[in-house]
Structure 1
Amino acid sequence: MKIIYILLANFVLVALASYLGVGRPLINYDYLLVLLIFLFFRNRFLAVILFALCIFIDGLNIFFQIFPIIHLSDILYLFKFIPEIDHSKKIIISFGLLSLFIYLFFLLEVLGKFSISKKYFSYVVVIVILLSILQSFYIAKGERAWRIGESKYFDSQIYNFIKFRNADFIKKFKNSENALGERYSFSTGYDEVLRIENPKKILFIVNESWGVTSDEIQEDLLHEILNNKRFKLLKQSEVSTDGFTVNAEIRELCGLYLNNFNLKKQKNGFEQCLPHILSKRGFHTLGVHGAASTMYERKDWYPKLGFKESLFYENFLNLNSRCYSFPGLCDRDLMQVIRNKLMNHDQIFLYWLTLNTHLSYDLRDLKNDQFDCERFLIDGKSSLCRNLKLQKQFFSNIGELLIQSQLSGTMIIIVGDHVPPLLENNEIKFKDAKVPMIVGYIE
């Protein structure tokens, strides 16, 4: 019974990850290794400290899948939003922390009386590690920072923590060279905004993972917009793309290439970005994104682009909204926020970076299934099908926004960020290095 108590933290965190809908291995063998160290050195104070470290990192890996962050110091920034959490969640968090301290105290007592054969326990640890190696031959790769250990039975959370903190993608945020590159030689949403004559309200949407498909599929996706009597289509075209979502944001908001992701350290070069230009013309400039502001350091560089106001996941903790394709708010729940902001300002540039059509195109985010994959001979279980279903849902929601008479005259630009990544090879693919764009206004 004592060993069950000692490993209780593992099973509590399994239950927590399951409740939150995030990834975690069934067995985190960090706890077994700490127990093995204790059996050989018999230092229970050291063992409790190591147990506490394992629990902390295990908990961080769960936390990161809800609030993805680049730097650990960003945790302190997020603490200031704790007062915005509803009282019931504050009570749960307080109870959880109290239970943790009590657990560690009793763990210290239990270890003083704990006895088991080093030989047989070593066998258990070796068997678990061998099983974790064996599973790698049967479990497909493709794990991401916001899906840690979701398909694994045995793994080390400390190893996962170190691996994702040292990923090449994360390192791109530490580059010391100039982040902003040359100006794009072709037209983007940036140019389309500057072409608008005497605008009052502009809704500029960079749509996550919206790719160029066949005309028939694109017509189906955009049906609720293109056939809406209140929407006047001005332009439908394609934009060349490269890199990740951050590249696309700088492409669309500033018309610039991006050399690296260290925009936090970039001090100048943002003067010709749309929010800066439009702020000088009297616009209220607002950036909205459903993920945490610490993801890709947007809290640091959105103001540099000229946004007077920025809204992220942590600004809406009382919405009780959570989606899964990428951790954050559901786009459908932000729709009302978008509508209200557009209505409450006489002159506004509202930039919205969508979220829920992100890889892995999680169907838990699909509440309104209107796209028939079989009609286009697409495998219903494929990532391509899931992407198109979520895109159809998004454009359907936009169609509902268009019927608001209070938004008459609002210019709308919607452009994809990058070619949607797919998990399988499909006969129907997205066009390489191109994303769609539509420009119009609400009559």
Structure 2
Amino acid sequence: MQNLIQHYLKPFFYLLILPNFFLFSVAIYLGIGRSPVNLDYLFASLFVYSRVPIIGYIVFLVFFLLDILALLVQVFTFAKLDHLVYLSSFLPNAPAAYQMATLASMLWLVLFMVNAVKLKKHTSLTQALVLFNLALGAFGLYVYSADSDNTDKVWRVQHAPLVSSPTLHTLKHRSTLFYQYFYDDGEIFDKFIPPSATQVNNARFYQSGSEKLLLIINESWGVAKDEHINAQLIRPIIQLDHYVKNLHSGQINFLGATVAGELRELCQLSPNHFNLKDAANGFENCIPNKLKRQGYATTAFHAASGVMYDRIYWYAKAGFDNSRFFENLNWTRRCYSYPGGCDLELINKVIADVAQPGKRFTYWLTLNSHAIYDERDIVIDQFDCAQFSVDVRSQTCRNLKLQAQFFYILAKKIAEEKLVGVKVLIVSDHAPVITNKTEMEQYFIENKVNWLSFEILTKLDSY
């Protein structure tokens, strides 16, 4: 009996525990969904322990990459596969957590392959079949259970059973919509007109007749459940009573990716997919196009690459004369929360653009408050998390510090009279991406974003 248990225990360890332990641990750390047992690896083992092991190794590698992708798309919402090539080029300067995860994945893969080869000499196909059928039975109980919850979102695994197949989940929940999001040739925009801060402020902002307009979409500026936190973040602007007037603030409901938030504010459009590169129509009534017809010069700024989400293409269609991205600007340093430049440096270029003579519409999509809110991007600490009962080790704390830093630097530039006579509208793209759902529910109102509008006084106003 003991020999029989050992006979199955060793392959059980290598085929079930070892190949799932690492990625399941990563999922727990990030607070995202993944089943403890990935059925796909057991399927690959059927080939590993057959007469054609090379097929098993190849199939295993494919399943492993799909398993990693299933986690990545829950952290970096909406990412084209070719975007990963761009993102991976920044790996040497990425957050330590990403570097360690990549190294650990590679080492784990090598370890498993080596042990699989060794174990093959002492393991039969029968053993692999027994384990596979046991796992398949558990998977079947979940799938056909009357209590099974099928509320998983396309890019987020809400309820992970004991045993599952990320490959089947990808094919069922993601592949069709993934194609539709990025490669579909159907209708680009939905008939639904989303609520937007630019529409709420149209009379005060782009229809005001002002010669200087600055629209800022502030990455991941969420609506905190604690109103004192919301007030504290914009406090540097509020305190500029000798520099600003007509200050208004509010909130709108929104659920979507950053590019959808941009289209919401710039064009009052709701995209059906993000295949915007070849789009010929639909951008005619975007704000930049409207302002161009009124004689405004229009410029867009973003510290990430223009290839991400086809911005290098659709910004021009939306009406921007010039677009400034990571690759066509000079930088003295780079930032880390998301691969690209630093907003603390870019703000000077934004100000210089809107301050030029004549009618100017300047658009700035910020970057450095993107998940995972890297501490290295916090240069000026203006928010005391402990004072507001926010866990100092949390993603929320880092997000709030980055938001406080943004408003502090903007207020400082205003106080230096860098933006005299400019009308400013600041709005979030979406709620913060907090990978720990419990933490998100504790601190933020989901699917709600902030906006703030004001006018910077001219010298004549001060008299």
The answer to whether TM tops 0.5 is yes
Q: Which residue of 2 aligns with 1:223?
A: 235
Determine if the alignment matches structure 1 residue 273 to structure 2 residue 286.
yes
Structure 1 contact 206–417 (Cα < 8 Å) conserved = yes
Question: How many Å separate the matches in 1 of 2:292 and 2:386?
Answer: 39
Structure 1 position 427, deviation (Å): 12
Structure 1 contact 287–350 (Cα < 8 Å) conserved = yes
Determine if the alignment matches structure 1 residue 244 to structure 2 residue 234.
no
Structure 1 position 162, deviation (Å): 2.5
Determine if the alignment matches structure 1 residue 261 to structure 2 residue 273.
yes
SS of structure 1 residue aligned to 2:300: strand
Determine if the alignment matches structure 1 residue 235 to structure 2 residue 216.
no
Structure 1 position 179, deviation (Å): 1.7
Give the paired residue count: 418
Q: Which residue of 2 aligns with 1:304?
A: 317
Structure 1 position 394, deviation (Å): 1.4
Structure 1 contact 38–47 (Cα < 8 Å) conserved = yes
Structure 1 contact 419–433 (Cα < 8 Å) conserved = yes
- Whichever residue aligns with residue 232 of structure 1, its letter is V
Structure 1 position 31, deviation (Å): 1.7
Change (3 A) 1:286 1:337: farther
Structure 1 position 309, deviation (Å): 1.9
Q: Which residue of 2 aligns with 1:35?
A: 45
Determine if the alignment matches structure 1 residue 321 to structure 2 residue 336.
yes
Question: How many Å separate the matches in 2 of 1:120 and 1:432?
Answer: 48
Question: How many Å separate the matches in 2 of 1:21 and 1:241?
Answer: 26
Q: Which residue of 2 aligns with 1:441?
A: 456
Question: How many Å separate the matches in 2 of 1:139 and 1:220?
Answer: 43
Question: How many Å separate the matches in 1 of 2:170 and 2:305?
Answer: 20
- The alignment-based identity, stated in percent, is 18
Give the unaligned 5+ runs of structure 1: 323-327, 375-379
The correspondence for 1:407, drawn from 418, 437, 443, is: 418
Q: Please give the TM-score of this superposition, normalised by the length of structure 1.
A: 0.65
Instruction: Deviation per CA, 1:129-182: give whole Å up to 9, x if none.
Output: 566688999999987677669977754332343345247587455361252658
Question: How many Å separate the matches in 1 of 2:46 and 2:224?
Answer: 54
Structure 2 contact 214–424 (Cα < 8 Å) conserved = yes
Structure 2 contact 217–429 (Cα < 8 Å) conserved = no
Change (3 A) 1:128 1:354: same
Change (3 A) 1:47 1:84: closer
Question: How many Å separate the matches in 1 of 2:68 and 2:444?
Answer: 39
Q: Which residue of 2 aligns with 1:286?
A: 300
Question: How many Å separate the matches in 1 of 2:242 and 2:249?
Answer: 20
Question: How many Å separate the matches in 2 of 1:133 and 1:224?
Answer: 57
Equivalence map 1:389-404=2 (5 Å): 390=399, 394-395=403-404, 397-404=406-413
- Whichever residue aligns with residue 250 of structure 1, its letter is L
Q: Which residue of 2 aligns with 1:336?
A: 344
Q: Which residue of 2 aligns with 1:57?
A: 66
RMSD: 5.9
Structure 1 contact 210–419 (Cα < 8 Å) conserved = yes
Instruction: Deviation per CA, 1:295-323: give whole Å up to 9, x if none.
Output: 5x54543332234225479999x83512x
- Whichever residue aligns with residue 251 of structure 1, its letter is R
Question: How many Å separate the matches in 1 of 2:314 and 2:242?
Answer: 35
Instruction: Deviation per CA, 1:205-228: give whole Å up to 9, x if none.
Output: 356464597977754443232123
Structure 1 position 341, deviation (Å): 1.9
Structure 1 contact 189–415 (Cα < 8 Å) conserved = no
Q: Please give the TM-score of this superposition, normalised by the length of structure 2.
A: 0.63
Question: How many Å separate the matches in 2 of 1:98 and 1:151?
Answer: 25
Structure 1 position 411, deviation (Å): 3.5
Structure 1 position 365, deviation (Å): 10
Determine if the alignment matches structure 1 residue 122 to structure 2 residue 133.
no
Structure 1 contact 288–353 (Cα < 8 Å) conserved = yes
- Whichever residue aligns with residue 408 of structure 1, its letter is L
Structure 1 position 44, deviation (Å): 1.8
Change (3 A) 1:209 1:139: farther
Structure 2 contact 298–319 (Cα < 8 Å) conserved = no
Question: How many Å separate the matches in 2 of 1:321 and 1:175?
Answer: 34
Q: Which residue of 1 aligns with 2:3?
A: none
Structure 1 position 232, deviation (Å): 0.7
Structure 1 contact 29–154 (Cα < 8 Å) conserved = yes
